[in-house]
Homo-oligomer: A and B are copies of this chain.
Amino acid sequence: MAQQHLDPTEPMAKTVTGDALAGYLRAQATEFLRALRQHRETGAGGNGSEESVDAARALRRSARRISGSLHTFRPLLDPDWSEGMRPELAWLSGTLALEHACAARLERLLNALHRLSGSPTLPAQSTRPAASAPPAERGGGNLTVGAAKAGALLDRQLTLARTRAHSAALQALGSSRFHAVADRVAVLASEVPLTPTATTTDLRPLATAAEERLTDAVTALPLITAGHPYNAAALIHGLSPDPSPHSQDTPWHQVRLLLRLHRYAREVIEGADAPVNVRLLAAGQALNRHRDASEAATAAASAARTPRIAPATAYALGVLHADQRHEVEAARFAFQQSWQKQKVTTP
């Protein structure tokens, strides 16, 4: 791991070249293989033990970093290799992410239902077995009939989705497609296919380009509206006849991905020991919260379209949908606040 470090306190820091990229990719590939081994040891067939959840998270984490670096620093890498690699990594991290997303979404929605009912929040759900008692029986029961039924309905639907995602992930991890990816990552851990000129090429213009793509996308966001609390913009199509997810969320999701690419590029340039940029972290967390609330709101709206539900259930799901759309709005406000701070301190 002979990475070159960019000292952020030194104004004329020396050039960072393809060697740093190779070091970063090797380290991430090693981490990927470690997580994969851990995942197999803790029971690939397991139904969500803590170690297995951690291992899956570490797998996704390194897959995202490898894939992101391949994208940002494309000109320094063998094009056939990197163009073949990226979709496979995207497929893998997407497949692995789904199970976790379903569990987290259910936990978010049940916690919100309990908050809205004025009862204490549930303990974290993410590590509980997929099949368990419905939330009304679990949660300490101060829910109205509508809230309890809504919780049970969401539990049923999202647990089913989670079980399917779990099977799909297991199937993926046993597939020849996955073994091919793992083999390529194993090669990457020792040998990075750089272009002949990569070791003398400065990485920083490519990292800067990634930052500029982020800045441009942020500039296009409605940040002035987002900076005014209670602008009621996120719920504006809450009862629209359009059944598709809120299209107003798309540019924010896009910024979330670009922010991640920017963060990974910084990791490559600055090395593993570089201090965490707290404001970038806060902005990223706000965008994660935005995405989670957006998807939870969609899940509540979708559950409300289940045939033959009771009006009280539908009412509770309507309140829940609106609550999560306000979480979307709150997350945009939080992003705007952290982004403004960033501009002040980074001249």
Query: A311 — nearest CB in chain B belongs to which residue?
Result: B314
Q: For the complex, what is the distance from the CA of A280 to the CA of B321, rounded to whole Å?
A: 36
With contacts A230-B229, A240-B144 taken as known, whether A235 is within 8 angstroms of B315 at the C-beta atoms is: no
With an 8 A cutoff between CB atoms, is A26 at the interface? no
With an 8 A cutoff between CB atoms, is A123 at the interface? no
With an 8 A cutoff between CB atoms, is A113 at the interface? yes
With an 8 A cutoff between CB atoms, is A272 at the interface? no
With an 8 A cutoff between CB atoms, is A281 at the interface? no
By CB atoms of chain B within 10 A, which of A113, A116, A311 has the most? A311
A144→B239 contact, CB < 8 A: yes
One complex includes copies of this chain to the number of 2
With an 8 A cutoff between CB atoms, is A11 at the interface? no
Q: For the complex, what is the distance from the CA of A320 to the CA of B318, rounded to whole Å?
A: 8
A326→B317 contact, CB < 8 A: no
Query: What residues on B are CB-neighbors of A239 within 8 Å?
Result: 113, 116-118, 143-144, 146-147, 316, 319
Q: Which of B143, B241, B318 contacts A319 (CB 8 A)?
A: B318
Q: How far is the CB of A68 from chain B (nearest CB, A)?
A: 31
**Count of chain A residues near B, Cβ 8 A:** 42
With an 8 A cutoff between CB atoms, is A237 at the interface? yes
With an 8 A cutoff between CB atoms, is A309 at the interface? yes
With an 8 A cutoff between CB atoms, is A238 at the interface? yes
With an 8 A cutoff between CB atoms, is A182 at the interface? no
Q: How far is the CB of A336 from chain B (nearest CB, A)?
A: 11
With contacts A117-B239, A144-B239, A239-B144 taken as known, whether A229 is within 8 angstroms of B333 at the C-beta atoms is: yes
Q: Which of B240, B309, B323 contacts A118 (CB 8 A)?
A: B240
Query: What residues on B are CB-neighbors of A115 within 8 Å?
Result: 232, 236
Query: A324 — nearest CB in chain B belongs to which residue?
Result: B322
Q: For the complex, what is the distance from the CA of A330 to the CA of B142, rounded to whole Å?
A: 27
Query: What residues on B are CB-neighbors of A326 within 8 Å?
Result: 230, 232, 235, 322, 326
Query: What residues on B are CB-neighbors of A304 within 8 Å?
Result: 311-312, 315
1/0 per position for A232-266, CB-CB distance to B under 8 A? Answer: 10011111111000000000000000000000000
Q: For the complex, what is the distance from the CA of A271 to the CA of B230, rounded to whole Å?
A: 37
Query: What residues on B are CB-neighbors of A317 within 8 Å?
Result: 315, 318
With an 8 A cutoff between CB atoms, is A310 at the interface? yes
Query: What residues on B are CB-neighbors of A113 within 8 Å?
Result: 239
Query: What residues on B are CB-neighbors of A236 within 8 Å?
Result: 115-116, 118
Within 8 A of B (CB), among A102-122: 113, 115-118
Q: For the complex, what is the distance from the CA of A318 to the CA of B330, rounded to whole Å?
A: 20
With an 8 A cutoff between CB atoms, is A159 at the interface? no
Query: What residues on B are CB-neighbors of A147 within 8 Å?
Result: 239
Q: For the complex, what is the distance from the CA of A321 to the CA of B319, rounded to whole Å?
A: 7
Q: For the complex, what is the distance from the CA of A143 to the CA of B241, rounded to whole Å?
A: 7
12 residue pairs A–B, Cβ–Cβ below 8 Å: A115-B236, A116-B238, A116-B240, A117-B241, A118-B237, A118-B242, A229-B333, A239-B316, A311-B314, A314-B315, A315-B317, A315-B321
Beyond contacts A118-B242, A315-B315: 8 other A-B pairs, Cβ-Cβ < 8 A, are A230-B230, A235-B319, A235-B326, A238-B319, A311-B314, A315-B317, A316-B318, A319-B322
Which A residues are closer than 8 A to B by beta carbons?
113, 115-118, 142-144, 146-147, 229-230, 232, 235-242, 304, 309-323, 326-327, 329-330, 333
